[in-house]
Amino acid sequence: MKTPLNVTIAGAGIGGLAAATALARAGHRVVVGERASEIGEVGAGIQISPNGMAVVRAIGAGAALDAVSLKATAVRLFDGPSGREIVTLDLEKHGRGLEWRFVHRARLIEVLKAAAEGAGASVEVGREILALPEGAALEGDDLLVGADGLHSKVRARVDEASKPFFTKQVAWRALIPGDGPPIAEVHLGPGRHVVSYPLPGGLRNIVAVEERGAWAEEGWSHTDHPGNLRGAFAEFSPRVRGWLDAVDDCFLWGLFRHRVADRWWDRQQVLLGDAAHPTLPFLAQGANMALEDAWVLSDAVSSAPLPDALRRYQDMRRDRVARVIDAASANARNYHLSFPPVRFAAHSILRLAGVVAPAQPLRRFDWLYGHDVTKAL
């Protein structure tokens, strides 16, 4: 490794803590600043797919994550209104040994914080890290990593601030008591869908998406009345309605499409995760892309001088995350088919594929789930 760097990271979310761990393990001196007075997340589940798990294991946090998560065995797609199964994707049989995990987001943050501190990084809460003023240089540090999320202040200095547009879709998120086998269920309906899976500790995670013209604010901190959620899915199957009847509290997020940053770095500043590429939830890849970013950034700055390293990091990441975001948008369209003949045809094709080529639906995403950034560099 070249000379160790002094690195400051703005934001102690998934990407920031993973980057801190990877950088500290590579021998760099790392400080993470989190402006909140405590590190926490809105209570909800998250899926870590194989491409993200490769990074978690490479930074030494795999065993700790295993202890607080469930290993997924399948994904089952249903017609939302009728409750009829469309197809089952058997991850154990057709996942080629790869692993998907369900975890509470707060537990993942705890695992990554412990890994970062165990690697020698310092995590400081109640400390806001500000972007560099125009023309200024870092004092005492070599690199500032902007892992400060959707409304990144560092991005505003590195690249033109994103001007998002409302996708005319909103998402609810909730947790209810429940258990069951570690299977993700996706219930598809005209202009809407529900995803649900169990979490450790007797909980079930619910994400429900509806197409609608009424605007809603962006961000998971906005509460909504559970009755609005139940009303949006009143025509769904008894199984889904039973879940929603158990919801006492829920959060509502307006889904906005953001531009992937054209420039991810400037002088001694670099972007990571949602600060560079906010991601819609239809492939569950926001956290996984941040994990990939963290590894690639650490490897790049450990292998080359900063200007070249940051350029290489952007070159290796931008096209991939743009493809993921486009694929997520396409997934939303496929989930929400409204014209009955088109929905019937699409579901029939999936049912047939489940019989004659059961591995094919997963194979379509080999480029995503089978990509391991820890081995591809």
CATH number at residue 65: 3.50.50.60
Residues 207 and 277 in one domain: no
Question: Which residues, 6+ apart, have CB-to-CB distance to 307 below 8 Å?
Answer: none
Domain annotation covers residue 134: yes
Percent residues over pLDDT 90 in the chain: 65
Residue 72, Cα to own-chain centre: how many angstroms? Answer: 16
pLDDT at position 140: 57
Residues 206 and 308 in one domain: no
End-to-end CA distance of the chain: 15
Residues 129 and 237 in one domain: no
Residues 128 and 62 in one domain: yes
Conformational region of residue 91, where left means phi above 0, alpha means psi within -120 to 50, and beta covers everything else: alpha
Kindly give the interhelix angle for 286-301 and 50-58, rounded to the nearest 10 degrees.
40
Residues 16 and 46 in one domain: yes
Percent residues over pLDDT 70 in the chain: 87
Residues 212 and 240 in one domain: yes
Residues 230 and 294 in one domain: no
**Lowest model confidence (mean pLDDT) among 179-188, 262-271, 351-360:** 351-360
Give the Cα separation of 250 and 174 in Å (integer).
5
Give the Cα separation of 68 and 46 in Å (integer).
12
pLDDT bucket at 97, cuts 50 / 70 / 90: confident
Q: In what order do the strands lie in the sheet with 183-189?
A: 85-90, 74-79, 183-189, 192-199, 203-211, 165-177, 250-257, 223-224
Pairing mode of beta strands 85-90, 74-79:
antiparallel
3 by DSSP, 3-state: which? coil
Residues 265 and 325 in one domain: yes
Residues 318 and 188 in one domain: no
DSSP code, position 281: G
User: Nearest CA to 3 among 231, 217, 309?
Assistant: 309
Domain count, the chain: 2
**Tens of pLDDT, residues 31-78:** 999 887 666 655 689 999 999 999 999 999 999 999 999 999 999 999
CATH number for the domain harbouring residue 252: 3.30.9.30
User: Nearest CA to 14 among 283, 295, 318, 254?
Assistant: 295
Residues 149 and 176 in one domain: no
pLDDT at position 339: 47
pLDDT bucket at 215, cuts 50 / 70 / 90: confident
Half-sphere exposure of 207 (CA within 13 A, CB side): 23
Residues 125 and 211 in one domain: no
**Tens of pLDDT, residues 160-199:** 766 788 888 999 999 999 989 999 999 999 999 999 999 9
* Residue 137 in this model has a pLDDT that exceeds 60: no
pLDDT at position 110: 95
pLDDT at position 338: 67
**Lowest model confidence (mean pLDDT) among 94-108, 196-210, 214-228:** 214-228
Domain annotation covers residue 224: yes
Give the Cα separation of 26 and 143 in Å (integer).
15
Domain annotation covers residue 230: yes
Question: Which residues, 6+ apart, have CB-to-CB distance to 34 below 8 Å?
Answer: 11, 12, 16, 123, 124, 125, 126, 127
Residues 152 and 179 in one domain: no
Give the Cα separation of 197 and 182 in Å (integer).
7
pLDDT at position 345: 66
Domain annotation covers residue 357: no
Among 257, 273, 297, residue at a domain's last position: 257
Question: What's the token pair of residue 307?
Answer: 């200007």
* Residue 242 in this model has a pLDDT that exceeds 90: yes
E runs forming strands in the chain: 6-10, 29-34, 45-48, 69-71, 74-79, 85-90, 101-104, 122-125, 143-146, 165-177, 183-189, 192-199, 203-211, 223-224, 250-257, 265-266, 269-271
Give the Cα separation of 128 and 249 in Å (integer).
30
Domain enclosing residue 274, as ranges:
6-70+100-161+261-334
Question: What's the token pair of residue 32?
Answer: 């993470």
**Overall size of the chain counted in residues:** 377
Pairing mode of beta strands 183-189, 74-79:
parallel
